[in-house]
Structure 1
Amino acid sequence: MGKEFPIIETRRLILREVTAEDANDVFKYLSDKEVVTPMGLAPCQTVEDAQDEIRWYKSIYEDGTGIRWGITLKDSGEVIGSCGFLNMLTKHHRAEVGYELSKDHWGTGIASEALEAVVKYGYQHYQLERIEALIEPTNLPSQKLVEKQGFRREGLLRHYEFTCGKFDDLYMYSIIKADLNIDYIDTK
């Protein structure tokens, strides 16, 4: 994309680019089985595995198929999760949203705050019409999170992904621009 990576600021968070210097923070939560299993990933075994994830974030941004922000607390600057778009299809004004958060911060509203900001950013800056979320049926907290944001469950995609040696069913959730009242969001 060749332009400066956007920063999103919310009440408690700064959403920013994840860099190689953040690898230890990223490793901390991506090595936690409870965090990554619902994402269809095996836990990171080394900091180099976290570096690979950071390189993937950079590659999807550079090729225009996505963007992934590191979720950081304003008071610490530590990366405690990520949220962003993947499988972005500009021709169809559509993208998939993904996110994960360190278990230390589950139940605090941080994921909701980050997701809301990222969804608004997608509508305002990427001219998205539809944002999708694919969620495993057993991942009830994630289902509640997107439902709280106004996403609607459209159906079950049977054996949609092959991850960690097995086929996974995924619920398809979506939100379209008309579902929301988009107002100004502070970006730097």
Structure 2
Amino acid sequence: MNNQSDTFPILETNRVILRRIEKDDAPDIFKYLSDDEVMKHYGTKPFQTVDEAIKAISRYESLFHEKRGIRWGITLKGDHQVIGSCVFYNMVSEHFRADIGFVLSKDFWGQGIAQEAVKAVIKYGFEHLNINRIEAVIEPPNIASQKLVEKLGFLKEGLLRSYEYFDGKFDDLYMYSLLKSDFPSDESKI
């Protein structure tokens, strides 16, 4: 499955550029990953220091170099500031499968930016990484993310009971999936 090259892929849409996240982006990453509202459904506690963002960026680099996934920084065209990210992770090449995740600064919620970025990443996965199945696991209270993936054609497959342990409790997650055959080649349909 994994046709991931050693060159980091830059993706471009009408409004956004998805690019490699670098150490200099740590203050931008910290800004949104330290926000309680943004982190409410993220599965980790809000960052307390910029150093946590620097460590996260190192993990993003390892993910890419070890070919276990790719995390793109979301930037608006004409602005280098990272306002969110979109990631393929848990890539399982023998099963042509990957998980997808995304996060966006609340300053940019409700503008269709996350949907535009996620759609570009999905397209890249199906066309360049030879992925056949993309999975998204989403907390039941996270209605906005559920609506986003449903708009892109993901199907809700069911509830994963007590799937993650976070902050002293077990959390249920919905499992969504999108197959390559579900994704329209005519992009105007999404």
In structure 2, stretches of 5+ residues that fail to align are: none
CA distance in 1, matches of 2:42, 2:31: 16
Residue among 73, 78, 95 paired with 1:75? 78
Residue among 30, 50, 56 paired with 1:27? 30
Q: Percent identity?
A: 57
SS state at 1:55 partner: helix
Distance 1:9 1:20, change over 3 A: same
Contact 1:154/1:172, CA 8 A, preserved across alignment: yes
CA distance in 1, matches of 2:186, 2:124: 10
Alpha-carbon offset, residue 55 of structure 1: 1.1
Contact 2:6/2:65, CA 8 A, preserved across alignment: no
Distance 1:3 1:33, change over 3 A: same
Contact 1:120/1:182, CA 8 A, preserved across alignment: no
Instruction: In structure 1, give the amino acid aligned to 2:62.
Output: S
SS state at 2:174 partner: strand
CA distance in 1, matches of 2:31, 2:141: 24
Residue among 180, 183, 187 paired with 1:180? 183
Counting only pairs closer than 5 Å after superposition, residues 17-166 of structure 1 correspond to structure 2 as 17-166=20-169
Instruction: In structure 1, give the amino acid aligned to 2:72.
Output: W
- The size of the alignment, in residue pairs, is 184
CA distance in 2, matches of 1:5, 1:92: 23
TM-score by length of 1: 0.95
Is 92-101 or 35-44 further displaced after alignment?
Answer: 35-44
In structure 1, stretches of 5+ residues that fail to align are: none
Instruction: In structure 1, give the amino acid aligned to 2:114.
Output: A
CA distance in 1, matches of 2:146, 2:95: 25
SS state at 2:101 partner: strand
Alpha-carbon offset, residue 75 of structure 1: 2.0
Instruction: In structure 2, give the amino acid aligned to 1:143.
Output: Q
CA distance in 2, matches of 1:79, 1:22: 7
Q: Which runs of 4+ in 1 moved over 3 A?
A: none
CA distance in 2, matches of 1:138, 1:125: 33
